[in-house]
Each structure stands twice: as C-alpha cells, then as structure tokens.
C-alpha cells in the first residue's frame, strides 16, 4: 500500500514535497528532469514547443511566463478537482475524494522522467488514479467534445498534449488509468484515460534518449517549427556587428527564399481574384454560387484608440503610457 504522506504513488519514486517550495527553487528543480507536461514537446507533438525548447529550458533556464490565462487556470484547479470528485462519486454511488498531491515523482528506472499530479482520486486504500485538471476557453470546445465522443484526442491539438502528459504520469506511477478533468467553455468534462503500454514505452525510451543524447551531451536537437517562440524569447536582440557563418543551413535558406517568392506570387494572384469577386459583390453581404455555396462579405466592427484625438485632448499622456520594445526582423 502506498503511503501518500510520504508522497508514494504506485511504483513512482517520491523526490520532494512542493508545499513550501519557493518559485525559484521549483524552477531550479524542473531543470533536473523532463516533466510530464514537457513530454509532448520532446516527442515533437506540441503545437508551440519542440525538443529544442525543452533543451533550452534545461540548459539555459526556463523562461518565467505569467499571464491572466495561467493565473485563471491556477485559481480554477481546486474547483475542477472538486467537480471530478463529485462526478466520480455519482458514477460509483459513493464518495470518491480527489486529494491534492504536492510531490514531485520520478520514474523508478528512467530517473529523468518526472511528474507532478494535480490531484489523486482515492477509491480505497489500495486503488488510486491521477487526475489532471485543465481549464480552457471556447476555442478548445470542439476538441473536448470530439474526445468525449470518439475516445481519442484530435491529432495536433493541445488536448493530445494533455493526453500524452497523462500517459507520462501513468508511466511514472505505474497506475492502470487516470483522468483528464476539463473546464472548457463553462462545461465540465471527465475523461478516463487508460494506460497505453506502447505509447508509454515510446515515452520512456525517447525521454531517456533525449536526455542522454542532448542535455547530458550538450548537443542541442534540431529546431522545429514549434521551437520558434523559444528561440525568439532567448534571443530578443541581435548583437551589433556579429556575423555568423550559415554554410550549415545554406540549403534551408535557399528553400525559404524560394517559398517566399512563391508566396508573393500567390498573394498577388489572390488579390487579383478577390478584386474580381468584390467587383461582383459590390455592397452585397452574401454571394451565391451555382453549387449552392456562398461567399460572405460581412461587416466587422472593432474599437481602436484614436491617438491623434487623445494627444490633442491630453498632451503628453500618450507618451507617458507608451513603452518601447525591441524586436528582431528576419530577412533571408
């Protein structure tokens, strides 16, 4: 029987309790392991992070990201776990507490694979299941609905990343199933995730290889499209006068220039076709084609700041609340 007071869950090895850990110490600890939430990026399946992003976080420090959406999700987590407890209780017709588990756990064999559990459903003294709490807006509604109906997360979605995260938790703990608990667009979802042995084998193997071949060896993995954000955050400004030999990526530069030239031609043709169509629509809101489909040209209203009027009414106020930001322009 696992002793939760000591952080024990399944066959996982408890590392440390995070209850009284400072933010800096928590971030320092993350540099020593690949967390379950990073596994999708290591596998190359995350929309906004790739293996290079994880490598940079481990070797150069993890960027501090704080925004309203993240804070909102943190505030909702206890409510989502409470909803999960209620849903499981209704399903089994008895109370099923979902308790917080403030421990970092690691895999018993691949020590660099770790996880934190948002919650732990406790059926009885010997039966437990991780519960991963997620809060997402209306943009993710179709993904959650699709998963709840089809039993498979949509490929390339953030929900697929969450699914991989939960499978990594099952890899670390050895438990047979877990739950994804989601508050999405004011609707609650509780999705049972069964252990996938083949995916878990791939996770353990690739995380171990990533750490040995890249982090320990000091060899960065090749960048992917998902690594763009991490690269821009790490290198916000160019060093004046610095020249870099790009012989190693000369072919890629050539391909990029070719694609950009093609894009310009495509955009030019797109503008011409649009002008021809607009000349027929004039002030019409919809145009009907022979096959029954429609072309829409609808009004979209937005609110913008009239800087000229503001400066005239309150001289100097605009400059007082303006900040200068340095960005880099990429010109191949």
Q: What is the pLDDT of residues 127-137, one digit of tens each?
A: 999 999 999 98
Question: Mapped to the 3 state alphabet, what secondary structure does 228-291 carry?
Answer: HHHHHHHCCCCCCCCCCCCHHHHHHHHHHHHHHHHHHHHHHHHHHHHHHHHHHHCCCCEEECCC
Question: Of all residues in the chain, what percent carry a pLDDT higher than 90?
Answer: 61
Statement to judge: residues 203 and 258 lie in one domain: no
Residue 316 lies in a domain: no
Mean pLDDT of 146-167: 93
Residue 192 lies in a domain: yes
Identify the residue whose tokens are 């012989």: 247
Query: Whole-number mean pLDDT of the chain?
Result: 90
CA 225, 117, 16, 106 torsion: positive or negative?
Answer: negative
Q: State yes or no: pLDDT of 45 exceeds 90.
A: yes
Statement to judge: residues 146 and 292 lie in one domain: no
Mean pLDDT of 143-155: 91
Statement to judge: residues 208 and 283 lie in one domain: no
Statement to judge: residues 97 and 183 lie in one domain: yes
Statement to judge: residues 161 and 274 lie in one domain: no
Statement to judge: residues 219 and 252 lie in one domain: no
55: left (phi over 0), alpha (psi -120 to 50) or beta: alpha
Coil, helix or strand at residue 80: helix
CA 134, CA 80: separation in Å to the nearest integer?
8
Identify the CA nearest to 151 among candidates 141, 138, 160.
160
CA 106, CA 109: separation in Å to the nearest integer?
9
Identify the residue whose tokens are 């600890």: 29
Statement to judge: residues 292 and 159 lie in one domain: no
Mean pLDDT of 19-38: 89
A 10 A CB-CB count for 287 gives 15
CA 48, CA 41: separation in Å to the nearest integer?
8
**Res 160: pLDDT:** 96
CA 28, CA 32: separation in Å to the nearest integer?
7
- Residue 255 makes CB contacts below 8 A (sequence gap 6+) with none
Mean pLDDT of 210-236: 89
Q: Distance from CA of residue 180 to its chain's centroid?
A: 15
H/E stretch holding 26: helix 23-30
Identify the residue whose tokens are 């791939």: 202
Of residues 324 and 263, which shows the higher confidence score?
A: 263
CA 75, CA 29: separation in Å to the nearest integer?
23
**Res 1: pLDDT:** 46
Q: State yes or no: pLDDT of 332 exceeds 60.
A: yes
Identify the CA nearest to 280 among candidates 295, 301, 300, 299.
295
Instruction: State pLDDT tens for residues 233-247.
Output: 777 788 888 999 999
Q: Distance from CA of residue 160 to its chain's centroid?
A: 10
| Greatest alpha-carbon span in the chain | 75
Question: Using alpha carbons only, what angle is made at residue 218 by residues 59 and 117, rounded to the nearest 5 degrees?
Answer: 45
Q: How confident is the model at residue 329 (pLDDT cuts 50, 70, 90)?
A: low
Per the CB < 8 A criterion, the answer to whether 19 and 102 are in contact is: yes
pTM above 0.85, yes or no: no
Mean pLDDT of 167-173: 98
Query: Which ranges in 109-196 belong to alpha helices (H)?
Result: 141-150, 158-173
Statement to judge: residues 201 and 67 lie in one domain: yes
Q: How many domains does the chain have?
A: 2
* CATH number assigned to the domain comprising residue 37: 3.90.320.10
Mean pLDDT of 144-148: 91
Tell me the two tokens of residue 166: 């939960």
Residue 41 lies in a domain: yes
Instruction: State pLDDT tens for residues 55-84.
Output: 999 998 877 777 787 888 889 999 999 999
Query: Which structural domain, as residue segments, surrounds residue 144?
Result: 4-225
């Amino acid at each position: 029987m696992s002793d939760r007071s000591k952080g024990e869950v399944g066959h996982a090895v408890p590392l440390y309790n995070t209850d009284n850990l400072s933010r800096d110490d928590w971030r320092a600890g993350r540099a020593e392991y690949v967390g379950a939430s990073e596994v999708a990026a290591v596998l190359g399946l995350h929309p906004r992070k790739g293996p290079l992003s994880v490598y940079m976080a481990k070797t150069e420090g993890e960027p501090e990201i704080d925004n309203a959406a993240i804070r909102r999700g943190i505030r909702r987590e206890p409510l989502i776990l409470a909803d999960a407890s209620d849903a499981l209780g209704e399903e089994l017709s008895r109370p099923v507490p979902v308790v917080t588990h403030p421990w970092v756990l690691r895999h018993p064999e691949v020590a660099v694979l770790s996880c934190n559990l948002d919650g732990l459903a406790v059926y009885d003294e010997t039966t437990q299941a991780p519960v991963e709490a997620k809060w997402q807006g209306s943009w993710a509604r179709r993904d959650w609905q699709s998963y709840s109906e089809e039993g498979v997360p949509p490929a390339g979605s953030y929900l697929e990343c969450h699914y991989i995260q939960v499978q990594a938790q099952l890899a670390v703990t050895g438990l047979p199933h877990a739950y994804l608990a989601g508050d999405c667009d004011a609707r609650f979802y509780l999705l049972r995730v069964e252990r996938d042995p083949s995916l878990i084998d791939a996770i353990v193997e690739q995380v171990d290889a990533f750490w040995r071949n890249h982090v320990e060896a000091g060899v960065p993995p090749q960048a992917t499209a998902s690594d763009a954000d991490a690269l821009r955050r790490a290198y916000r400004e160019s060093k004046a006068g610095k020249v870099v030999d790009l012989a190693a990526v000369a072919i890629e530069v050539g391909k990029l220039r070719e694609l950009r030239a093609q894009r310009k031609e495509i955009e030019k043709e797109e503008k011409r076709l649009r002008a021809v169509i607009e000349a027929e629509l004039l002030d019409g809101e919809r145009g009907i084609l022979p096959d029954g489909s429609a072309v829409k040209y609808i009004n979209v209203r937005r609110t913008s700041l009239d800087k000229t009027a503001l400066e005239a009414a309150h001289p100097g106020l605009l400059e007082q609340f303006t900040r200068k930001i340095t960005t880099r322009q990429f010109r191949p």
